[in-house]
Structure 1
Amino acid sequence: MWSPVTRITVEYDAVNEEGTFSCGDELSGRVLLLLSKDAKIKDLWVKATGQALVHWSEGSGDDQRTYSAREKYFKLKQQVAGPEKGKKVVLAAGSHVFPFTFQIPQGNMPSSFKGAHGKVEYKLEAKLSRSWRIPSKSVSMFNFVSKPEMSMAQLMSPQCDMVRKDFFLSGNVSMNATMTRMGYMQGERLKVTVEIDNSSSHKLVPKFSVSQKQSFSAGGSRTSQKEVVLKEAGKPIASRTWQTLTQELSIPQDLPVSVLNCTILRVEYKLRVFLDVPCARSPKIKFPLVVFPAESLRGLMPPSDVPQPWWAVGNGDKNQEPSQPAAGPLALHAAPGQSPAGAAAPHAGPPSALWPCLSPPPPYSTLSRLPPQSHPAAPPPYSALDQTHPGTPPLYPTLGQLPAQATPGANTVGNSPRGRVEEASH
């Protein structure tokens, strides 16, 4: 028999420009039903669900094994049409609209994702049931983004690492790398600063890549898939040279976000910095990278093009004037316990651009406050010379040892040991 249901559609209203939803958002929409003739229905339900699914197979033939798992997050149901007080529902031919409203529950739920062997999906499903008929269904997926479960301090913390490699009979190379922070949004520019000391006979090419790792778990087994999603190369570094360079990598706007809060599915990223060495193993540095939806942290993270991020300096406004500007050239010599004349008060400026996670060196103005004894090159005072050889007269007499009325031509022999001997002989 020909079905009177011409079309059934479920749709929802967006709550932001990106068309995404998060925990606590209101999910409102409607079911659109088009009938070609009058129809008697049993009920009409709308369901909102969130879940993660994984599925893959290993082996072949008789040795093939299949693994699958499911993780449910929420399930909400609402009846929008059905019998009332035992009366049957008959819908007339034409268009019908049935509104509905859900509220997404709170919880630590991963963002929407679709990978090689699994997915995290959030969907709306409308189901029209009629007696002795196959139900009519309609499904509409909606994009869910989770709030970051890591603290802002972790996401904003800079990452620093170094590596050194010795080559047989051809010198060595050392590399220091710094990434300004761990967390980035889709579409942002990732900035890496690298310091390379090429003390070898090789010409080295610095290279940068972002790799994605998808991991799936089910039935005590695990499988993964890796893929390089972004790569760049810098200018070659000649042998016996030292160079500092900064490389920017643009994270694609459509790059899947990190999934770190699902027990059966994970999506992780790593930034890899390495030197391409011919005929040798390349020295490399790896940093963890967390990618968030562009709308989840909008307005909360500093822009990538700030040379010195606000969280590394401790100053939220990069255009703010220093609280104590320098009043003149810095004097390096001053009496202990006093500030140099014309010098500004000591100010802890921003750390090095290459090593933002290290403390800056002390200002030169503090060197003048050290006691003279702390300088190895400072000679001992004259008053201490008479104590180097006990029993010998002092090399430089003090003012208290001179006669009170010492004048030119006066006889001072009596004050010496020799004068006292001569007087005793008389």
Structure 2
Amino acid sequence: MTVKHLLVDYNKVNERGTFSPGDTLSGRVTVVTSGETKVQCFLIKAKGKAKVTWHEKEGQATGTHRDKKKYFYFEHIVIQDKNKGDGSEIIRSGKNVYPFTFVIPNTDMPSSYEGKWGKITYSVRAQLTQSIWLFHKTKTEFPFLTKSEFPFASRSDMIIIGLKEKQYATRISFHGSAKVAMNATSEKLGVKQGEAMAVSVEVLNDSARTVTPTFYLCEKQTFVAQSKRTVHTSETLFGTGDPIAAETSQSITKVLSIPTQLHPTFFNCRMMKLEYRLKVSLDVPRDSEIKLPLVILLGSPKPHQQKPKRSIWFQNLPG
């Protein structure tokens, strides 16, 4: 175990810390050894892939559904034993640094994402093989950002959708002879990460009880594998409006701030997609709610907090 330290690192290309199609990914692999080390093979790899996996009951058994897609794969051989396995190549003692450079293909690929049952990852890895039973691996993921301005629709769809258009919906509920009517309006369909959006609610409360509007952000993750489909949904409470007394009507405007950490809406991966809705509900005996479509857009660039790299230190085994 002369290999004590193995680390892969990359250079940032912009203030956001992300990479996109056509960018050059460059960096270095650092190997620290306590003595001369015989090596069969030393590889550096760059990979982009999407993968989904989930389990579900199918009668008395549990079925597993999975799928994966590779967007690109590059491999650079740093050292390869010319004698095919006798460990004749040598890494000298101490700190050794090996640079690498890969050009990411200039094709449409989805941004990095991790959902309930699937993820899209981009990484650079290093593998140093000393023998069939002794090898060392390390990797670090780099954040990838699609070049598509609208990764959820084609250009023609965008004209129809109209991101700046207001969204309207109406709901009328009857409780015995009483009626509760609600109109909800959001000022636009497309909202950037970290941006604020006004939502207006008009409530006609002809019932004998006070009602209160509540605002939620609904997230829907869809995963597809082997012609099967599964959905994971969640809701985040945005806040509540003022109570509306019995037999009165009132208009309420709530300003909602989109969290900066929300992943933008996307459809440009065949195995998964991410959608959002804005839900407004009233606390009446039978739930009365309205859902308005919402598209989360990429916000302004912010420095990326790089994940800690998988720096591996090796120790001699006792005995």
Q: TM-score, normalising length from structure 1?
A: 0.62
Contact 2:205 2:249 in 1 (8 A): yes
Number of the residue aligned with 2:50: 52
User: Which amino acid counterpart does residue 230 of structure 1 have in structure 2?
Assistant: L
User: Which amino acid counterpart does residue 53 of structure 1 have in structure 2?
Assistant: K
Q: Tell me, what secondary structure is at the counterpart of 1:144?
A: coil
Number of the residue aligned with 1:71: 69
Q: State yes or no: 1:280 paired with 2:286.
A: yes
Quote how far apart the aligned CAs of 1:208 are: 0.8
Alignment of 1:9-408 (within 5 A): 9-59=7-57, 63-82=61-80, 89-146=89-146, 147=148, 148-149=150-151, 150=153, 151=155, 154-170=162-178, 172-277=179-284, 279-282=285-288, 284-295=289-300
Q: Tell me, what secondary structure is at the counterpart of 2:299?
A: coil
Distance in 1, matches of 2:248 and 2:60, equals 60
Q: Deviations over 1:337-366 (max 9, x none)?
A: xxxxxxxxxxxxxxxxxxxxxxxxxxxxxx
Q: Tell me, what secondary structure is at the counterpart of 2:163?
A: helix
* Bigger proportion of residues as helix: 1
Distance in 1, matches of 2:88 and 2:183, equals 76
Quote how far apart the aligned CAs of 1:188 are: 2.2
Larger Rg: 1
Distance in 2, matches of 1:33 and 1:216, equals 39
* Bigger proportion of residues as strand: 2
Number of the residue aligned with 1:416: none
Number of the residue aligned with 1:342: none
Distance in 1, matches of 2:190 and 2:46, equals 31
Quote how far apart the aligned CAs of 1:247 are: 0.7
Contact 1:6 1:35 in 2 (8 A): yes
Distance in 1, matches of 2:252 and 2:141, equals 45
Residues 270 and 181 of structure 1: is their aligned pair in 2 closer, same or farther, counting only changes over 3 Å?
A: same
Residues 9 and 67 of structure 1: is their aligned pair in 2 closer, same or farther, counting only changes over 3 Å?
A: same
- Unpaired runs of 5+ residues, structure 2, are 303-319
Quote how far apart the aligned CAs of 1:270 are: 1.0
After TM superposition, the structure 1 stretch with the greater mean CA deviation from structure 2, 288-297 or 106-115, is 288-297
Residues 231 and 46 of structure 1: is their aligned pair in 2 closer, same or farther, counting only changes over 3 Å?
A: same
Aligned length: 293
Contact 2:16 2:301 in 1 (8 A): no
Contact 1:81 1:98 in 2 (8 A): no
Distance in 2, matches of 1:62 and 1:199, equals 51
User: Which amino acid counterpart does residue 114 of structure 1 have in structure 2?
Assistant: E
Distance in 2, matches of 1:230 and 1:112, equals 26
Contact 1:68 1:218 in 2 (8 A): yes
Q: Deviations over 1:305-325 (max 9, x none)?
A: xxxxxxxxxxxxxxxxxxxxx
Q: CA RMSD in A?
A: 2.8
Q: Deviations over 1:1-37 (max 9, x none)?
A: xx22111111111223332222222211111111111
- Unpaired runs of 5+ residues, structure 1, are 298-426
